Structure 1
Amino acid sequence: MSHGETVGIVLIEDDDGHATLVERNLRRAGVSNGFLRFRDGQQALDYFFGPAPAEAAASGAGGGASEPTASAYPSRDDLTNFVVLLDLKMPRVDGFEVLRRLKESPRTAAVPVIVLTTTDDPREIARCYELGCNVYITKPVEYDAFIEAVRRLGFFLQVVKLPPGHRFAAP
């Protein structure tokens, strides 16, 4: 794959262990692209829909000692060729609300969203597709099966094609 076709990963996952396993095993599968992680849905919504990181940093917004400041993240304008890996069960703002907001906004509607969660309830799966998720993957509870699922996801992300010039749309 040429450099211009690499796909960046925006991981929205509250569980540090799962986030580490996802990133480590995607890298082992050959996904060497950039990773941007948010620890809950509110952080992700603030990033995508709040003031630009430079504005937030200037105003002092962005969090306390346990949260990265807005300026710790790359500019939204630098996001190009990325997919969102989204957990559903998170504190503050859950993944359903993040998915709804991403898909209803013209700025982010075209962003591919892969729901990656432990929930296999058919009603929740249907709800995610109704809200516009592109792919729904259930995280296996068993460790080795979880690692294998992430490895397969990594192979998929190496060959996925996005529209030319796919990037975060300016307001």
Structure 2
Amino acid sequence: MNTQIPILVADDDEDDRFLIRTAFRDSQLTNDIFFVADGVELMQFLYHQGPYADVEKYPRPGIIFLDLNMPRKDGWEALSEIKQNPELKAIPVVVLTTSNSERDILRTYESGANCYITKPISFDQLLQIVKSFGQFWLSIASIPWK
């Protein structure tokens, strides 16, 4: 069971971050969840740099939720950097983005993502996605963490 692994969400949309946080709470998932607003902050978090230097406060995540469309460093660049780094590449990356383009889906999997989810249009749909995520990734799947 992976109920204690930290989850890192990289999404530039403040409303989406709020909805994701609420969906996790309403799904009764007790994992620590951290949020960053773009790919630069994501990589700082993963490398424990800048404001994320405190490893106790900002532990290595067991799973990353990644939006593709972010400022400064987009999700494509961050995904590529994560999957090319021997110390980070085993972290499962779940892409949660607005695009439902077949080209984007294929490119994402070719870049090493573990899952691709198109952001739903309603909170109820997001809640169902988070519950399903919890059932699979946190209860069934084995995740290399720590």
Q: Which of these residues, 153, 156, 162, is aligned with residue 143 of structure 2?
A: 162
Partner of 2:118: 138
Q: Which of these residues, 18, 36, 57, is aligned with residue 16 of structure 2?
A: 18
Deviation at 1:106? 0.4
Deviation at 1:26? 1.6
Structure 2: which amino acid aligns with 1:91?
Answer: P
Name which one, 1 or 2, has greater alpha-carbon Rg: 1
Residues 102 and 108, structure 1, Cα contact 8 Å, conserved in 2 = yes
Deviation at 1:45? 1.5
TM-score normalised by L of structure 2: 0.86
Please give the root-mean-square deviation of Cα atoms over the aligned residues, in Å.
2.3
CA distance in 1, matches of 2:88, 2:60: 12
Identity over aligned pairs, percent? 32
Query: Which region of structure 1 is more displaced relative to structure 2, 119-128 or 148-157?
Result: 148-157
Residues 99 and 132, structure 1, Cα contact 8 Å, conserved in 2 = yes
Residues 9 and 35, structure 1, Cα contact 8 Å, conserved in 2 = yes
Partner of 1:128: 108
CA offsets, 1:43-70, max 9 Å, x none? 1112224xx44xxxxxxxx4xxxxxx33
Corresponding position: 1:70 with 2:56: no
- Can you give the 5+ residue segments of structure 1 that lack an aligned partner in the other structure? 54-61, 63-68
CA distance in 1, matches of 2:74, 2:34: 18
User: Per the alignment, do residues 22 and 77 of structure 1 end up closer, same or farther by CA in structure 2, a change over 3 Å counting?
Assistant: closer
- The 5-angstrom pairing of residues 19-58 of structure 1 reads 19-49=17-47, 52-53=48-49
- Can you give the 5+ residue segments of structure 2 that lack an aligned partner in the other structure? none
Q: Which of these residues, 127, 135, 145, is aligned with residue 147 of structure 1?
A: 127
Residues 30 and 154, structure 1, Cα contact 8 Å, conserved in 2 = no
User: Per the alignment, do residues 158 and 28 of structure 1 end up closer, same or farther by CA in structure 2, a change over 3 Å counting?
Assistant: farther
Partner of 1:109: 89
CA distance in 2, matches of 1:38, 1:142: 22
Structure 2: which amino acid aligns with 1:34?
Answer: D
User: Per the alignment, do residues 76 and 96 of structure 1 end up closer, same or farther by CA in structure 2, a change over 3 Å counting?
Assistant: farther
Deviation at 1:27? 2.3
- The 5-angstrom pairing of residues 85-100 of structure 1 reads 85-100=65-80
CA distance in 1, matches of 2:41, 2:58: 18
User: Per the alignment, do residues 44 and 113 of structure 1 end up closer, same or farther by CA in structure 2, a change over 3 Å counting?
Assistant: same
User: Per the alignment, do residues 28 and 9 of structure 1 end up closer, same or farther by CA in structure 2, a change over 3 Å counting?
Assistant: same
User: Per the alignment, do residues 115 and 37 of structure 1 end up closer, same or farther by CA in structure 2, a change over 3 Å counting?
Assistant: same
